[in-house]
Amino acid sequence: MIRLRPGEVDLATLRDIHAGSGPVELDRGARPGIEAAARVVAEAAAGDAAIYGVNTGFGKLASTRIAPADTATLQRNLVLSHCSGTGEAADPALVRLMMALKLVSLGRGASGVRWAVIEAIEALLARGVVPVIPLQGSVGASGDLAPLAHMAAVLIGAGEAELGGRRLPGDRALAAAGLAPLELGPKEGLALLNGTQFSTAAALAGLFAAWDNLAASIVTGALSTDAIMGSTQPLRPEIHALRGQPGQIAVAAAARALMAGSAIRESHREGDSRVQDPYCIRCQPQVAGACLDLLRHAGRNLQIEANAATDNPLVADGHILSGGNFHAEPVAFAADQIALAIAEIGAIAQRRVALMVDPTLSFDLPPFLTADPGLNSGFMIAEVTSAALMSENRHLANPCSTDSTPTSANQEDHVSMAAHGACRLARMNRNLSGILAVELLVACQGIEFRAPLATSPALQRVVALLREHVPALGADRPLSPDIAAARALIADGSVARHAGLDLPLEVS
């Protein structure tokens, strides 16, 4: 059981939830605060004072008063009207993470919902009921209204959900899981819809995949360095200590460990006419290290956001306060930072691929890593594929957070665009794992051309892993299946694990 303590949930726990590591529930110590805030909202709903979202309309309609007898209808209508998303459905793992984040946010005891709302979300997670959430429709301010509305709809027996591999109407999914629809109380629809949980979940999913790609890129970069008989002098700790950047120091240390014991490296310490390697080899710690630091910075901010109360209004010290915690600017910035790191990891990896297939730069490797160039094209077009993926990621890395448009009759006149900023990370990570897959294929082929010299023991394990799934390239054959197999090894962490690389995503 994964138990969520509001305000204390860390990235490791969030990653376990995203990976589907077990049932999830809110720490029971949060219940008194949740129920106290619910009493404040209930009293306000029965009173005469206008309280936004409790006895008023929403957005531009906030000045419209709602009679006490209509508060339940108000909340239900809010959920149904906001189910306006479009596009493909979000990955179930992302939806589970989003629901867990909503539990954490409500668990702060500032949203004014009853404990029954917590139990209803927990029940969906426990019974495997996954709301169908369209990916498009949020601009990342006033919260992720449309995506969260699609989640809330299932709680009240509307919308759609997946259960046991079937897509069902919300009421049928609840019934099949042995659950009853939730009747919303005052403010509860608004509390479920307001918040940054969809954007944050998508950004976290992007962060986790980017981190795995970064780890794999350190391994493929070491393989490429040995394949072109590159120097390890740029990895010396004295160089990196003089700069002091923690990510750079960590990447250089990891690369040194990966290449330790390489006979290929030892073979050209003396008599090598080359003075310096190209930047894509020599500056790997500087580039990958900067990406490491950037991802950790984004992770730190997303961990804070994951523990935040982000709906509106909020209950604090017995008062109901209107504010703007739903504005997802911190998530948008984090998503843009992750995108920059993804693009740069791929950019330098692609240059290493280009280096290895070019006989004028690869230090005597055959053209395009084929033993019979001319008759065979080898990895010629695989390198072109890596270039196409790199270019696409460059375009996708352009910031989303700088784009804003007024919505809701100009009431919501500045928005974060965090949702699509975060959602694009999945595509970018797929592209990056494709680039690294090509690098893995080319680098392993290059290392095998150095026989009888052998690479390091750590990197030999990676070459052996690849060869369990992809044979060495002899005569030309379709390479798409090879790239797909190598990409799977990158994406599931196998490459980093077999190399013995332990690179924890830790933030302070």
DSSP 215-239: HHHHHHHHHHHHHTT--SGGG-HHH
Average pLDDT, the chain: 94
- What pLDDT, on the 0 to 100 scale, is given for residue 49? 82
Percent above pLDDT 70 for the chain: 99
**pLDDT tens-digit map of 388-424:** 999 999 999 999 999 888 887 777 778 888 999 999 9
pLDDT score recorded for residue 51: 80
3-state DSSP assignment of residue 368? helix
**Residue range 241-289, pLDDT digits in tens:** 999 999 999 999 999 999 999 999 988 877 677 778 999 999 999 999 9
Pick the more confident residue, 130 or 70. Answer: 130
Average pLDDT rounded to a whole number, residues 345-354 = 98
Q: Would you state the pLDDT for residue 405?
A: 84
Looking at residue 54, its pLDDT comes to: 81
Say what the pLDDT of residue 249 is: 98
The average pLDDT across 340-350 equals: 98
Considering just the CA atoms, what is the radius of gyration of the chain in Å?
Answer: 26
pLDDT at position 302, please?
98
Using one digit for the tens of pLDDT, what is the confidence trace for 419-440? 999 999 999 999 999 999 999 9
> Does the pLDDT at position 489 exceed 90?
yes
Kindly tell me if the per-residue pLDDT of 170 is higher than 90. Answer: yes
Q: Catalytic site residues?
A: 52
Residue-wise pLDDT for 43-66, tens only, equals 988 888 888 878 877 766 777 788
**What's the CA gap between 373 and 426, in Å, rounded?**
36
Give the per-residue pLDDT at 29: 97
SS3 2: strand
Q: Which pLDDT score is estimated for 305?
A: 98
Helical packing angle, 92-106 and 197-227, nearest 10°: 130
**140 has pLDDT over 90:** no
Distances (CA, A) of 279 to 134, 264, 293, 318, 393: 42, 20, 20, 59, 20
The predicted model gives 158-176 an average pLDDT of: 97
